[in-house]
Amino acid sequence: MKYKVSQIAEINSNSIKPKLYSGALNYEDTSSVTDNCFIRPIRYDNITEAPSRARRKAAIGDTVISTVRPNNLHYGFIDKNNCDWIYSTGFAVVHPDKKIVDPFYLFLLLSLKSTTQKLQDIGETSKSTYPAVKPDDIANLQFEIPSLEKQKKISFIFKNLYQKSKLNNQINDNLDDLMTTIFNNKIINSKFEVSSLTNIANYKNGLAMQKFRPTENSESLPVLKIRELNQGSTDNNSDRCSANIDPEVIVNTGDIIFSWSGTLLVKIWSGNKSGLNQHLFKVTSSEYPNWFIYEWTKFHLHKFQSIAAGKATTMGHIKRNDLKSSKVLIPDKVSFDKFNKIMSPIYEKRLEFIKENQSLMTFKENLLTKYF
Protein backbone atom coordinates (compact mmCIF):
# COMPACT_ATOMS: atom_id res chain seq x y z
CA MET A 1 0.00 0.00 0.00
CA LYS A 2 1.24 3.50 -0.83
CA TYR A 3 1.65 6.14 1.85
CA LYS A 4 2.83 9.71 1.90
CA VAL A 5 5.52 10.40 4.49
CA SER A 6 3.02 12.73 6.22
CA GLN A 7 0.77 9.70 6.79
CA ILE A 8 3.43 7.61 8.49
CA ALA A 9 5.60 10.20 10.25
CA GLU A 10 5.78 13.64 11.86
CA ILE A 11 8.36 16.21 10.78
CA ASN A 12 10.12 18.68 13.10
CA SER A 13 7.80 17.86 15.97
CA ASN A 14 10.32 18.65 18.72
CA SER A 15 12.61 21.66 19.15
CA ILE A 16 14.32 23.28 22.12
CA LYS A 17 13.24 26.63 23.52
CA PRO A 18 16.40 28.69 24.16
CA LYS A 19 14.95 30.60 27.11
CA LEU A 20 14.05 27.34 28.86
CA TYR A 21 17.21 25.41 27.95
CA SER A 22 20.05 25.14 30.46
CA GLY A 23 23.31 23.26 30.52
CA ALA A 24 25.81 22.14 27.91
CA LEU A 25 24.85 20.77 24.52
CA ASN A 26 26.38 18.74 21.70
CA TYR A 27 25.59 20.33 18.35
CA GLU A 28 25.54 18.65 14.94
CA ASP A 29 25.39 20.71 11.74
CA THR A 30 24.21 19.38 8.37
CA SER A 31 27.75 19.17 6.97
CA SER A 32 28.73 16.83 9.82
CA VAL A 33 26.36 14.05 8.72
CA THR A 34 26.92 12.22 5.42
CA ASP A 35 25.25 8.97 4.36
CA ASN A 36 24.59 7.96 7.98
CA CYS A 37 28.12 8.80 9.14
CA PHE A 38 28.11 11.30 12.01
CA ILE A 39 31.18 13.39 12.74
CA ARG A 40 31.74 14.13 16.42
CA PRO A 41 29.51 17.03 17.49
CA ILE A 42 30.71 20.43 18.67
CA ARG A 43 30.22 20.86 22.40
CA TYR A 44 28.99 24.18 23.81
CA ASP A 45 28.81 25.00 27.51
CA ASN A 46 25.45 26.71 27.11
CA ILE A 47 22.83 27.60 24.50
CA THR A 48 24.00 31.21 24.16
CA GLU A 49 27.36 30.05 22.77
CA ALA A 50 25.77 27.73 20.20
CA PRO A 51 24.65 28.86 16.72
CA SER A 52 21.08 30.16 16.48
CA ARG A 53 20.24 27.20 14.22
CA ALA A 54 20.96 24.72 17.04
CA ARG A 55 17.30 23.93 17.76
CA ARG A 56 16.16 20.52 16.51
CA LYS A 57 15.73 17.58 18.87
CA ALA A 58 15.67 13.99 17.66
CA ALA A 59 14.65 10.69 19.25
CA ILE A 60 15.88 7.13 18.74
CA GLY A 61 14.44 5.89 15.45
CA ASP A 62 14.18 9.31 13.81
CA THR A 63 15.81 10.20 10.51
CA VAL A 64 17.56 13.55 10.03
CA ILE A 65 17.74 14.76 6.45
CA SER A 66 19.16 18.06 5.23
CA THR A 67 16.79 20.39 3.41
CA VAL A 68 19.73 22.01 1.59
CA ARG A 69 21.58 20.48 -1.38
CA PRO A 70 19.97 17.00 -1.16
CA ASN A 71 22.60 15.42 -3.42
CA ASN A 72 25.23 16.01 -0.71
CA LEU A 73 23.67 13.06 1.16
CA HIS A 74 23.47 14.81 4.53
CA TYR A 75 21.13 12.33 6.19
CA GLY A 76 21.39 9.86 9.05
CA PHE A 77 19.55 7.53 11.42
CA ILE A 78 19.26 8.42 15.10
CA ASP A 79 20.27 5.76 17.62
CA LYS A 80 21.26 5.69 21.28
CA ASN A 81 24.63 7.27 20.49
CA ASN A 82 23.35 10.50 18.96
CA CYS A 83 19.80 10.93 20.27
CA ASP A 84 20.85 13.47 22.93
CA TRP A 85 22.50 15.84 20.45
CA ILE A 86 20.95 19.07 19.23
CA TYR A 87 20.60 19.31 15.45
CA SER A 88 20.63 22.22 13.02
CA THR A 89 17.39 23.70 11.72
CA GLY A 90 18.88 22.86 8.33
CA PHE A 91 17.68 19.32 9.05
CA ALA A 92 14.17 17.98 8.77
CA VAL A 93 13.70 15.51 11.63
CA VAL A 94 11.35 12.70 10.55
CA HIS A 95 9.68 10.88 13.45
CA PRO A 96 8.03 7.60 12.29
CA ASP A 97 4.70 6.09 13.34
CA LYS A 98 5.98 2.70 14.47
CA LYS A 99 2.52 1.13 14.06
CA ILE A 100 2.85 1.53 10.28
CA VAL A 101 6.52 1.78 9.43
CA ASP A 102 9.72 0.36 10.86
CA PRO A 103 12.01 3.32 11.71
CA PHE A 104 15.06 1.99 9.88
CA TYR A 105 12.97 0.98 6.88
CA LEU A 106 11.77 4.58 6.62
CA PHE A 107 15.40 5.73 6.82
CA LEU A 108 16.25 3.40 3.93
CA LEU A 109 13.41 4.84 1.85
CA LEU A 110 14.48 8.42 2.58
CA SER A 111 18.11 7.64 1.69
CA LEU A 112 17.46 5.87 -1.61
CA LYS A 113 19.24 7.36 -4.62
CA SER A 114 15.85 7.83 -6.30
CA THR A 115 14.60 9.81 -3.28
CA THR A 116 17.73 11.96 -3.21
CA GLN A 117 17.37 12.68 -6.92
CA LYS A 118 13.70 13.60 -6.55
CA LEU A 119 14.48 16.03 -3.73
CA GLN A 120 17.39 17.45 -5.72
CA ASP A 121 15.08 18.05 -8.69
CA ILE A 122 12.61 19.83 -6.43
CA GLY A 123 15.40 21.86 -4.84
CA GLU A 124 16.69 23.06 -8.19
CA THR A 125 13.32 24.66 -8.92
CA SER A 126 13.42 26.66 -5.68
CA LYS A 127 14.08 30.39 -5.65
CA SER A 128 16.99 29.89 -3.28
CA THR A 129 20.56 30.53 -4.45
CA TYR A 130 21.21 26.81 -3.87
CA PRO A 131 19.00 23.71 -4.19
CA ALA A 132 16.72 23.60 -1.15
CA VAL A 133 13.53 21.78 -0.22
CA LYS A 134 10.85 22.43 2.39
CA PRO A 135 9.70 19.97 5.05
CA ASP A 136 6.43 19.72 3.11
CA ASP A 137 8.37 18.42 0.10
CA ILE A 138 9.61 15.54 2.25
CA ALA A 139 6.16 15.08 3.76
CA ASN A 140 4.66 14.68 0.27
CA LEU A 141 7.06 11.93 -0.80
CA GLN A 142 5.16 8.71 -1.50
CA PHE A 143 6.37 5.14 -0.98
CA GLU A 144 5.06 1.61 -1.28
CA ILE A 145 5.04 0.21 2.27
CA PRO A 146 4.92 -3.60 2.75
CA SER A 147 3.89 -5.38 5.92
CA LEU A 148 5.74 -4.55 9.13
CA GLU A 149 7.07 -8.09 9.25
CA LYS A 150 8.70 -7.72 5.83
CA GLN A 151 9.98 -4.24 6.68
CA LYS A 152 11.70 -5.53 9.79
CA LYS A 153 13.37 -8.39 7.93
CA ILE A 154 14.79 -5.99 5.35
CA SER A 155 15.80 -3.48 8.03
CA PHE A 156 17.64 -6.16 9.99
CA ILE A 157 19.90 -6.94 7.02
CA PHE A 158 20.76 -3.33 6.22
CA LYS A 159 21.11 -2.25 9.83
CA ASN A 160 23.79 -4.91 10.35
CA LEU A 161 25.67 -3.66 7.28
CA TYR A 162 25.54 -0.06 8.52
CA GLN A 163 26.54 -1.07 12.05
CA LYS A 164 29.53 -3.06 10.80
CA SER A 165 30.60 -0.10 8.66
CA LYS A 166 30.11 2.28 11.58
CA LEU A 167 32.13 0.01 13.88
CA ASN A 168 34.94 -0.05 11.33
CA ASN A 169 34.89 3.75 11.21
CA GLN A 170 35.00 3.97 15.01
CA ILE A 171 37.95 1.58 15.19
CA ASN A 172 39.63 3.55 12.44
CA ASP A 173 39.14 6.81 14.35
CA ASN A 174 40.62 5.19 17.45
CA LEU A 175 43.61 3.97 15.45
CA ASP A 176 44.07 7.47 14.07
CA ASP A 177 44.04 8.90 17.59
CA LEU A 178 46.50 6.21 18.70
CA MET A 179 48.89 7.04 15.87
CA THR A 180 48.78 10.75 16.73
CA THR A 181 49.33 10.06 20.42
CA ILE A 182 52.39 7.90 19.73
CA PHE A 183 53.68 10.43 17.19
CA ASN A 184 53.35 13.33 19.62
CA ASN A 185 54.92 11.40 22.49
CA LYS A 186 57.85 9.96 20.54
CA ILE A 187 58.72 12.60 17.94
CA ILE A 188 57.32 16.04 18.81
CA ASN A 189 59.69 18.07 21.02
CA SER A 190 62.47 15.51 20.58
CA LYS A 191 65.99 16.54 19.61
CA PHE A 192 65.96 15.27 16.05
CA GLU A 193 67.12 16.82 12.79
CA VAL A 194 65.03 19.85 11.77
CA SER A 195 63.63 20.00 8.24
CA SER A 196 60.42 21.18 6.53
CA LEU A 197 57.24 19.66 5.11
CA THR A 198 58.32 20.25 1.53
CA ASN A 199 61.55 18.34 2.18
CA ILE A 200 59.80 15.18 3.34
CA ALA A 201 56.79 15.12 0.99
CA ASN A 202 55.57 16.17 -2.42
CA TYR A 203 52.33 18.20 -2.42
CA LYS A 204 50.87 17.72 -5.91
CA ASN A 205 48.01 20.08 -6.71
CA GLY A 206 44.99 18.79 -8.63
CA LEU A 207 43.75 20.06 -11.98
CA ALA A 208 40.85 22.28 -12.99
CA MET A 209 38.96 19.20 -14.09
CA GLN A 210 36.33 21.18 -16.02
CA LYS A 211 39.07 21.52 -18.64
CA PHE A 212 39.47 17.73 -18.83
CA ARG A 213 35.93 16.57 -19.53
CA PRO A 214 35.66 13.05 -20.97
CA THR A 215 34.76 12.74 -24.61
CA GLU A 216 31.80 10.62 -25.68
CA ASN A 217 32.39 6.87 -25.22
CA SER A 218 35.85 7.49 -23.70
CA GLU A 219 37.03 6.13 -20.35
CA SER A 220 36.38 8.50 -17.45
CA LEU A 221 36.93 8.89 -13.71
CA PRO A 222 34.84 10.53 -10.98
CA VAL A 223 36.28 13.84 -9.81
CA LEU A 224 37.46 14.14 -6.21
CA LYS A 225 36.46 17.54 -4.81
CA ILE A 226 35.96 18.89 -1.28
CA ARG A 227 32.44 17.41 -1.15
CA GLU A 228 33.72 13.94 -1.98
CA LEU A 229 36.63 14.27 0.45
CA ASN A 230 34.22 15.19 3.24
CA GLN A 231 31.89 12.27 2.60
CA GLY A 232 34.74 9.83 1.96
CA SER A 233 33.57 8.66 -1.47
CA THR A 234 32.44 9.70 -4.91
CA ASP A 235 28.87 9.08 -6.08
CA ASN A 236 26.56 9.45 -9.05
CA ASN A 237 26.46 13.21 -8.52
CA SER A 238 30.24 13.57 -8.77
CA ASP A 239 31.63 15.26 -11.88
CA ARG A 240 33.54 13.14 -14.38
CA CYS A 241 36.92 13.74 -15.97
CA SER A 242 38.96 12.01 -18.63
CA ALA A 243 40.94 8.99 -17.46
CA ASN A 244 43.76 10.18 -19.74
CA ILE A 245 45.27 12.65 -17.28
CA ASP A 246 48.60 12.96 -15.47
CA PRO A 247 48.99 9.81 -13.30
CA GLU A 248 50.21 12.07 -10.48
CA VAL A 249 46.70 13.53 -10.12
CA ILE A 250 44.96 10.17 -10.18
CA VAL A 251 43.95 9.21 -6.64
CA ASN A 252 43.63 5.65 -5.36
CA THR A 253 42.28 4.24 -2.11
CA GLY A 254 44.67 4.99 0.74
CA ASP A 255 46.28 8.07 -0.80
CA ILE A 256 46.76 11.07 1.49
CA ILE A 257 44.71 14.10 0.41
CA PHE A 258 45.13 17.59 1.84
CA SER A 259 42.57 20.29 1.11
CA TRP A 260 44.49 23.58 1.14
CA SER A 261 41.65 25.96 0.23
CA GLY A 262 38.18 26.56 1.68
CA THR A 263 37.67 23.74 4.19
CA LEU A 264 41.18 22.71 5.21
CA LEU A 265 41.53 19.06 6.21
CA VAL A 266 43.82 16.06 5.81
CA LYS A 267 42.37 12.63 5.09
CA ILE A 268 43.33 9.18 3.92
CA TRP A 269 41.15 8.73 0.84
CA SER A 270 38.57 6.00 1.45
CA GLY A 271 36.90 6.18 -1.95
CA ASN A 272 37.75 4.54 -5.27
CA LYS A 273 40.03 5.63 -8.09
CA SER A 274 39.38 9.31 -8.94
CA GLY A 275 40.76 12.40 -10.62
CA LEU A 276 42.09 15.04 -8.21
CA ASN A 277 40.50 18.46 -8.58
CA GLN A 278 42.28 21.77 -7.99
CA HIS A 279 42.55 23.09 -4.40
CA LEU A 280 43.49 19.60 -3.23
CA PHE A 281 46.98 18.21 -2.73
CA LYS A 282 47.94 14.56 -3.18
CA VAL A 283 50.66 14.04 -0.57
CA THR A 284 53.36 11.50 -1.43
CA SER A 285 56.97 10.72 -0.59
CA SER A 286 59.62 8.56 -2.21
CA GLU A 287 61.71 8.54 0.96
CA TYR A 288 59.41 8.43 3.98
CA PRO A 289 56.49 6.14 4.90
CA ASN A 290 52.93 7.42 4.61
CA TRP A 291 52.27 7.52 8.36
CA PHE A 292 55.14 9.98 8.78
CA ILE A 293 54.07 12.50 6.12
CA TYR A 294 50.42 12.11 7.15
CA GLU A 295 51.09 12.87 10.81
CA TRP A 296 53.33 15.84 10.09
CA THR A 297 50.80 17.36 7.70
CA LYS A 298 48.06 16.81 10.27
CA PHE A 299 50.28 18.29 13.00
CA HIS A 300 50.39 21.62 11.15
CA LEU A 301 46.72 21.56 10.12
CA HIS A 302 45.49 23.84 12.92
CA LYS A 303 48.10 26.43 11.98
CA PHE A 304 47.10 26.18 8.33
CA GLN A 305 43.43 26.61 9.24
CA SER A 306 44.29 29.77 11.20
CA ILE A 307 46.25 31.16 8.24
CA ALA A 308 43.35 30.47 5.87
CA ALA A 309 40.82 31.98 8.27
CA GLY A 310 42.86 35.19 8.34
CA LYS A 311 42.68 35.69 4.57
CA ALA A 312 40.51 38.62 3.48
CA THR A 313 38.84 36.46 0.83
CA THR A 314 35.67 34.41 0.76
CA MET A 315 37.73 31.25 0.34
CA GLY A 316 40.67 31.10 2.73
CA HIS A 317 43.72 29.18 1.65
CA ILE A 318 47.41 28.61 2.28
CA LYS A 319 50.43 28.99 -0.01
CA ARG A 320 53.37 26.72 -0.74
CA ASN A 321 55.55 29.00 1.35
CA ASP A 322 53.39 28.05 4.32
CA LEU A 323 54.29 24.41 3.69
CA LYS A 324 57.96 25.27 3.21
CA SER A 325 58.12 27.22 6.47
CA SER A 326 56.47 24.43 8.48
CA LYS A 327 59.16 22.65 10.46
CA VAL A 328 59.38 18.91 10.96
CA LEU A 329 61.68 16.68 12.99
CA ILE A 330 63.36 13.68 11.37
CA PRO A 331 64.53 10.94 13.75
CA ASP A 332 67.89 9.26 13.30
CA LYS A 333 67.84 5.94 11.43
CA VAL A 334 67.83 3.73 14.53
CA SER A 335 64.96 5.67 16.12
CA PHE A 336 63.06 5.89 12.82
CA ASP A 337 63.25 2.13 12.25
CA LYS A 338 61.95 1.59 15.77
CA PHE A 339 59.02 4.00 15.26
CA ASN A 340 58.25 2.54 11.84
CA LYS A 341 57.80 -0.95 13.30
CA ILE A 342 55.12 0.48 15.58
CA MET A 343 53.38 2.93 13.26
CA SER A 344 53.32 1.15 9.89
CA PRO A 345 51.17 -1.79 11.08
CA ILE A 346 48.64 0.65 12.60
CA TYR A 347 48.52 2.67 9.38
CA GLU A 348 48.11 -0.50 7.29
CA LYS A 349 45.32 -1.71 9.58
CA ARG A 350 43.49 1.55 8.89
CA LEU A 351 43.70 0.85 5.16
CA GLU A 352 42.29 -2.64 5.72
CA PHE A 353 39.21 -1.21 7.43
CA ILE A 354 38.78 1.38 4.67
CA LYS A 355 38.83 -1.33 1.98
CA GLU A 356 36.48 -3.56 3.96
CA ASN A 357 33.99 -0.69 4.17
CA GLN A 358 34.23 -0.23 0.41
CA SER A 359 33.22 -3.87 -0.03
CA LEU A 360 30.37 -3.49 2.47
CA MET A 361 28.99 -0.44 0.68
CA THR A 362 29.17 -2.17 -2.71
CA PHE A 363 27.25 -5.09 -1.22
CA LYS A 364 24.73 -2.65 0.28
CA GLU A 365 24.11 -0.96 -3.08
CA ASN A 366 23.53 -4.34 -4.73
CA LEU A 367 21.03 -5.31 -2.04
CA LEU A 368 19.23 -1.98 -2.31
CA THR A 369 18.75 -2.61 -6.01
CA LYS A 370 17.30 -6.02 -5.17
CA TYR A 371 14.89 -4.95 -2.43
CA PHE A 372 13.85 -1.53 -3.76
CA–CA separation, 83 vs 103, rounded Å? 14
DSSP per-residue letters across 116-184 = HHHHHHHHTTSSSSS-B--HHHHHT-EEE---HHHHHHHHHHHHHHHHHHHHHHHHHHHHHHHHHHHHH
Q: What is the pLDDT of residue 349?
A: 97
Q: Are 218 and 242 in contact (CB under 8 A)?
A: yes
Q: Which long-range contacts (CB under 8 A, 24 or more apart) does 283-286 make?
A: 283/201, 283/202, 283/203, 283/204, 283/255, 283/256, 283/257, 283/258, 284/201, 284/202, 284/204, 284/255, 284/256, 285/200, 285/201, 285/202, 286/202
Q: β-strand 91-96 against 63-66: which pairing, if any? A: antiparallel
Interval 6-30: pLDDT, tens? 999 999 999 998 888 888 999 999 9
| pLDDT per residue of the chain (372 residues) written in tens, 0 to 9 | 999 999 999 999 999 988 888 889 999 999 889 889 888 899 999 898 999 999 999 999 999 999 999 988 899 999 999 999 999 999 999 999 999 999 999 999 999 989 999 999 999 998 777 889 999 999 999 999 999 999 999 999 999 999 999 899 899 999 999 999 999 999 998 999 999 999 999 999 999 999 999 988 889 999 999 989 988 888 877 999 999 999 999 999 999 999 999 889 999 999 999 999 999 999 999 999 999 999 999 999 999 999 988 765 556 789 999 999 999 999 999 999 999 999 999 999 999 999 999 999 889 989 998 898
Interval 149-160: pLDDT, tens? 999 999 999 999
- pTM metric for this prediction: 0.81
Q: Are 200 and 323 in contact (CB under 8 A)?
A: no
Q: What is the pLDDT of residue 131?
A: 86
